[in-house]
Amino acid sequence: MSILTAENLYKSYGAQVVLEGIGLVLQPGERVGLLGVNGCGKSTLVKILAGVEQADSGTVLIRKGATVGYFSQEPDLDPSLTVREVVAEGLGEWRVVHKRYEEISTLLENEEGDIDALLEEQARMAADIERLGGWERMHQVESVLTNLGVSKLDAMSNELSGGEKRRVALARLLVSEPDLAIIDEPTNHLDVQTIEWLEEQLVNNFSGALLFITHDRYMLDHVAQRIIEIDRREMFSYRGGWEAYLEAKAERSAHEERTEANRQNFLRTELEWLSRSPQARTTKQKARIKRAVSVRDKGAPEAQAAIAKIELQDSRTGRTIIDIRDLRLEMGGKVLIENLDLCLSKGDRIGIVGANGIGKTSLLRAILGQLKPVAGTIKLGETMKVGYFEQARANLDMDASIFENVIGNRGDVQVGKDTITPHAYLGRFMFARKRVRDKVSMLSGGERARVALAKMLIEPVNLLLLDEPTNDLDVGTLSALEEMLVSTVATAIVVTHDRYFLDRVATGVLAFEGDGKVVQYASAQQALEGSKRSSKKAAKAKAKSIAAQSVPTGTGKRTYAERIELDGILDKIAAGEEAVEKVNAELAAPDLYTERGSEVPGLNERLAVAQKTLEQIVERWEYLESKD
């Protein structure tokens, strides 16, 4: 039985129709990616499916008893709760039962109330905790937050940045383990390693159905079993990930072209016959006339969704674009960059990767002269004209229209050797004439990103500084941006987490690895592998530090809950060891590599997860044993 069925969904905002006649079915455990150009209604659709908004007409049926989790682009967190408490909300009934269990433990330790009644209630609570997932659920909260790059677990949620709030909300959804997870752009504000961890969680550790919007094409390939696309207010379904989608869509487009060519040939033949005005009007001929008129009046099918046409207004430049020597940047007493040397020539496109808050944007600001280096020099070529694409879109006037933001008081626009009208220029960024007077505040995130691109590229530039340009953009616009950067031999420094974008565009990569260390790599894959090695070293050092700090001093005592947890933890260790042995046995099967080679990657991933789980349980046991 399907977990969700939607039929004939219709939604409009004033005169603008967003969804019309949309329907889809999701099966239990199915992982589905949702695509479409910016502004086609993807976010509106998922809000309707999640029950956050109501359709003007149509139905959405959720299987009885099924739970639905929704992750929005702008999550709403309770400002009175800490990060840990917000994510613990995702534990639902477990959280309520565990909280009551701790309250009873406190009463018993203080010998308050009816002891027998409290012991009886505590036993019931302990049984409920085991039924609802065991004593490790709160550790799951901390583990998910850590893997998503959230370290301030006891900070109040209203103190977080926008990106931090998104990661906390995503952690809450993951620990809630709903029957259906609906996720809108989960990879925005996540670094590459965290995205790969999220992909592993969704593929190997999440058993519910998944509907997700993303522009991350590698994520679509790794996670999606099916892709559905909203195109011209219709919905099309394709089996497989990104590569399979591209092949199937190309075939559909070719079929539409063949169908239209056949229709035009039929029309031409029939209309030529009609124009000869034959004398005899038999029943057969009348049917022929009726058929020709019907096809003629039907008209051509609506063109497929437009793709942005992005061009760079190149400005003449010398051989050296930018020369950075021995650069040291600090902020708030923290070293962001130490001894960085970087020299860019025309056509160099450098990708910048690294964890959030590590200094990537600060490098761009230093190049722009907005942040003064502590040491070192940054020299730009004499004829440099820099185009800056800002992550926060702060250079856009939200109360002004698209036209006012991009065109202003300009007349015609020079694009290469061509002079085009303002409306034609905006049309290249997929803004129809009837929409150019819309306020930017009314646009989707992806549409705002297109406005920012149009505004930046309307002037001649010879160095592009792009800070997270891939956030929110649809894949068609991303592809157009990639093509522009490569085909025009543009010089660019790009901060992005989009691995597909980096692989297509970057001629080199700067990896920010922490403590001021910035390493240059030839490719995104080399940068990722190097970053993983650095992360492992840092994690081991941190673990040793924590272990040293947690050595018992004679004052640490186990709580009642921890004593209960310790009593059952050896059984969990045994189960963990058994899980590791089971996967190892499957990997050792004689026919695995000769007949079932496709299963090897999945088994290796299962082994890594089982080993990590066992390691966490053993660490918890050692910690509990160290207390009195």
How confident is the model at residue 549, as a pLDDT? 43
End-to-end Cα distance, the chain: 52
Residue 157 has pLDDT above 50, yes or no: yes
Smallest Cα–Cα separation from 165: which of 183, 179, 145?
A: 145
Q: Distance (Å, rounded) from C-alpha 502 to C-alpha 505?
A: 5
How confident is the model at residue 558, as a pLDDT? 72
Strands (E) located in 177-232 = 180-184, 209-213, 226-231
Architecture of domain 320-529: 3-Layer(aba) Sandwich (3.40)
How confident is the model at residue 388, as a pLDDT? 93
Residue with the larger pLDDT of the pair 568 and 212:
212
Amino acid (1-letter code) at residue 288:
R
Residue 251 has pLDDT above 80, yes or no: yes
**CB half-sphere exposure, 399, CA atoms < 13 A:** 0
Asked, colleague to colleague, whether 320-529 and 550-626 share their fold, the answer is: no
508-514 and 349-354 strand pairing: parallel
Q: What average pLDDT score do residues 227-256 get? A: 87
How confident is the model at residue 532, as a pLDDT? 60
Tens-digit pLDDT profile for residues 41-53: 899 999 999 999 9
Tens-digit pLDDT profile for residues 3-27: 999 999 999 988 788 899 999 999 9
Smallest Cα–Cα separation from 468: which of 173, 166, 15?
A: 166
Alpha carbon distances (Å) from 452 to 352, 482, 599: 20, 16, 45
Q: What average pLDDT score do residues 609-623 get? A: 80
Tens-digit pLDDT profile for residues 475-529: 888 888 998 888 877 889 999 989 899 998 999 999 998 889 999 988 767 776 7
How confident is the model at residue 279, as a pLDDT? 52
Tens-digit pLDDT profile for residues 518-564: 999 887 677 767 666 665 555 445 444 444 444 343 345 777 667 77
How confident is the model at residue 588, as a pLDDT? 67
Q: CB 221: neighbour CB atoms within 10 A?
A: 18
For 550-626, CATH gives 1.10.287.380
How confident is the model at residue 318, as a pLDDT? 65
- The answer to whether residues 180 and 26 touch, using CB atoms and an 8 Å cutoff, is yes
Q: Distance (Å, rounded) from C-alpha 231 to C-alpha 475?
A: 13
Q: Where are the domains of the chain?
A: 1-67+178-305, 320-529, 550-626
- Write down the mean pLDDT value for the chain: 84
Residue 96 has pLDDT above 80, yes or no: yes
* 1-67+178-305 is a CATH 3.40.50.300 domain: yes
Residue 116 has pLDDT above 60, yes or no: yes
Amino acid (1-letter code) at residue 65:
G
Q: Distance (Å, rounded) from C-alpha 224 to C-alpha 240?
A: 7
Smallest Cα–Cα separation from 455: which of 390, 549, 518?
A: 390
Residue 219 has pLDDT above 90, yes or no: yes
Q: How confident is the model at residue 32 (pLDDT cuts 50, 70, 90)?
A: very high
Tens-digit pLDDT profile for residues 576-586: 888 888 887 77
Q: What average pLDDT score do residues 252-257 get? A: 79
Q: What average pLDDT score do residues 180-208 get? A: 92
Residue with the larger pLDDT of the pair 345 and 567:
345
- The answer to whether residues 340 and 407 touch, using CB atoms and an 8 Å cutoff, is no
